[in-house]
Amino acid sequence: MIELLIANLPMVLCLMMGMALMIVEVFLPGFGLPGISGIALVGIGVVIAGINYGAVTAVGLLLVLIAVLAVVISLVLNHVVRGGGNSKIFLRETQDLNPQEDMKAFVGRKGEAKSMLRPAGIGDFDGVRLNVVTEGGFVDAGTAIEIVNVIGNRIIVKPC
């Protein structure tokens, strides 16, 4: 048994290292050195198997390697997505964000016009700078303003 392992050691090492490099390539962006090296090593291992044991054995070995590689990559990706690895790179749940409802919290707040509102400009509400629109007229910079309504992304103000 040991003699068989020693005789096939170059083939086994090529196949194992090739599979490991292809698994590493799954997690690296692009098609780079690990992927190319992995494919080359698997190819060398299959050629060695073909020389030693025949073409049918080499094709069978290649099919088994592809199946094993697919299962291993699937299991590793599934583990990472479920939170086993760096789970911050995958979005697991969505949040229903409604910016209009969030901005409705500003209705009734008083602030100061930081720029001249004609009718659009910038208002400061307790240190929060917002793009605002007046109800119609011009408002000078430094005038006290109040948020009266929020429609979509428009914040409507009036002078106090």
pLDDT tens digit sequence for 110-128: 999 999 999 999 999 988 8
Cα angle 27, 25, 79 (rounded to 5 degrees) comes to 40
Q: What percent of the chain has pLDDT over 70?
A: 88
Average pLDDT, the chain: 86
pTM recorded for the entire structure: 0.49
The predicted pLDDT at position 110 comes to: 94
Instruction: For residue 146, give the H/E element and its range.
Output: strand 144-151
Would you state the pLDDT for residue 2? 83
Q: Is the pLDDT of residue 85 over 60?
A: no
For position 96, what pLDDT does the model report?
59
Q: Which has the minimum average pLDDT: 49-58, 84-93, 149-158?
A: 84-93
- Residue 39's pLDDT is 92
Per-residue confidence (pLDDT) for residue 98, from 0 to 100: 63
The pLDDT value given to residue 59 = 94
Decide the pairing of beta strands 128-134 and 154-159: parallel
Q: What pLDDT, on a 0 to 100 scale, did the predictor assign at position 53?
A: 92
The pLDDT value given to residue 83? 66
Residues 6+ apart with CB under 8 A from 90: 80, 81
Average pLDDT score over residue span 35-63? 93
Max avg pLDDT among 45-54, 76-85, 97-106: 45-54
Reported in sequence order, the residue ranges of 92-142 that DSSP labels E, i.e. its strands, are: 110-113, 120-125, 128-134
Question: Given this model, what pLDDT does residue 88 score?
Answer: 55
User: Residue 94: is its pLDDT beyond 70?
Assistant: no
